[in-house]
Amino acid sequence: MLDPSQPIFAIASANIAEDQAREILRDSFPRYRGTEFKFSNIWGSNNRTGLLRFAAHLESLQDLTFIYMADKRFAVLTKIVDFLIEPHITDAGYDFYADGFCWKYANYIHFGLTQFAPPELLDALLRHYQTFSRNPTSVSLATLQARLHMMAASTEDRVQIFLEQMALGAELFERYHSLENFHGSDELQTTTMLAIVSHWRQRCPEDFAVIHDDSSNFLRSRDMWGKITNPNVPPQLHRSGDGSYVEYPLRVISTTPMNSQASFSIQYCDLLAGLATKHFSPRTEGDDRAFMDQVIEAGLKHITYNGIRPNVIFPDQIPPRRLDGPDVIDQMTGIIYGSHNRNS
């Protein structure tokens, strides 16, 4: 999650037929000789100029393509907010997810830490939390608690409140979470797939047959995915963390892994995801950035995307409005496990 060489995670999706994807790829890269069209092979080769021709096809496919990306460092910060701040704020009677408050508050914290604190503070915060998240034990939790208290006591007044809230959340962690059942918070694949299906769910009336690259880590969460996409989930509107609503059941009738070498549609998505990681990465500079600007102008600008990345959209009110009924976490818990609250 904190690998500086790969700061962006992205998944592209498309409602595109295999023969159309094949024609686009072969037209864009007529001299390509690999066993499959892979962005990692194309970007550093003589075939890279073909990405301009590939992008030229995208305007006609803008309604059939969607990309979801995550700035991984910011994603870690949102996990800190989710697991350390949200539980005790919700327990105090506030709706932490109403009107997208959680996402806006994470933006607010990120802005404060990057504008009014030394860069090493955010680096240390993310690193210390990840150390605990990757090995959640009573010892690592105690270490996180001590470090957050020290950071809160020694930081700039304007951001001190954020660290104090995190330190309190760490102290109360076992009130809201079971260390035995907490397996860290690095998961991005399932949440990204859910965001992607939610996008299509709001735009298409048909049922969905999801086909994905079988080399992805998505299969690790297939049990959870099966529960979320269960057609027997009671009909309901579920509020997402950004304040938007998704209708359940999701109408996913099947989820099938496929070898990417056998699917031009998956290869088409691989190229789009690769372009997204290059475009949103702060490491894309110089000639690479100039080339990406050309790709964007050639047609990538027409593709719809969403994701997890810092923005300057902040809460309209602090604290959030009072809680009225089950919050988002309890609603999702109900979808997955039935009508049980998060502490069951």
Percent of the chain surpassing pLDDT 70? 92
Q: Is 211 exposed, middle or buried (0-12, 13-18, 19+ CB in 10 A)?
A: middle
- Whether residue 43 contacts residue 321, with contact meaning beta carbons closer than 8 Å, is answered with no
**How far lies 107's CA from each of 82, 104, 146, in Å?**
13, 5, 25
Predicted local distance difference test score (pLDDT) of residue 99: 85
Is 335 a residue whose pLDDT tops 50?
no
Confidence of residue 236 (pLDDT cuts 50, 70, 90): confident
Is 241 a residue whose pLDDT tops 90?
no
The greatest distance separating any two alpha carbons of the chain, rounded to the nearest whole angstrom, comes to 62
Confidence of residue 298 (pLDDT cuts 50, 70, 90): very high
Which residues, 6+ apart, have CB-to-CB distance to 299 below 8 Å? 55, 56, 57, 58, 59
Confidence of residue 219 (pLDDT cuts 50, 70, 90): low
Is 332 a residue whose pLDDT tops 60?
no
Is 111 a residue whose pLDDT tops 90?
yes
pLDDT digit string (tens) for 4-47? 999 999 999 999 999 999 999 999 999 999 899 999 999 999 99
Confidence of residue 305 (pLDDT cuts 50, 70, 90): very high
Confidence of residue 338 (pLDDT cuts 50, 70, 90): low
Q: Is 278 helix (H, G, I), strand (E, B) or coil?
A: helix
Angle at the Cα of 82 from the Cα atoms of 80 and 83, rounded to 5 degrees: 70
Please report how many Cα atoms fall inside a 13 Å half-sphere around the Cα of residue 277, on the Cβ side: 18
- Whether residue 218 contacts residue 189, with contact meaning beta carbons closer than 8 Å, is answered with yes
Q: Is 78 exposed, middle or buried (0-12, 13-18, 19+ CB in 10 A)?
A: buried
- Whether residue 101 contacts residue 314, with contact meaning beta carbons closer than 8 Å, is answered with no
Average pLDDT over residues 253-258: 93
Residue 244, both tokens: 């938007």
Confidence of residue 130 (pLDDT cuts 50, 70, 90): very high
Confidence of residue 188 (pLDDT cuts 50, 70, 90): confident
Which residues, 6+ apart, have CB-to-CB distance to 65 below 8 Å? 12, 13, 14, 15, 16, 58, 272, 303, 304
Single-letter code of the amino acid located at 311: N
The predicted model scores a pTM of 0.88
The closest of 10, 52, 14 to 268, measured between CA atoms, is 14
- Whether residue 22 contacts residue 256, with contact meaning beta carbons closer than 8 Å, is answered with no
The closest of 176, 168, 258 to 212, measured between CA atoms, is 258
CA distance 308 to 73: 10
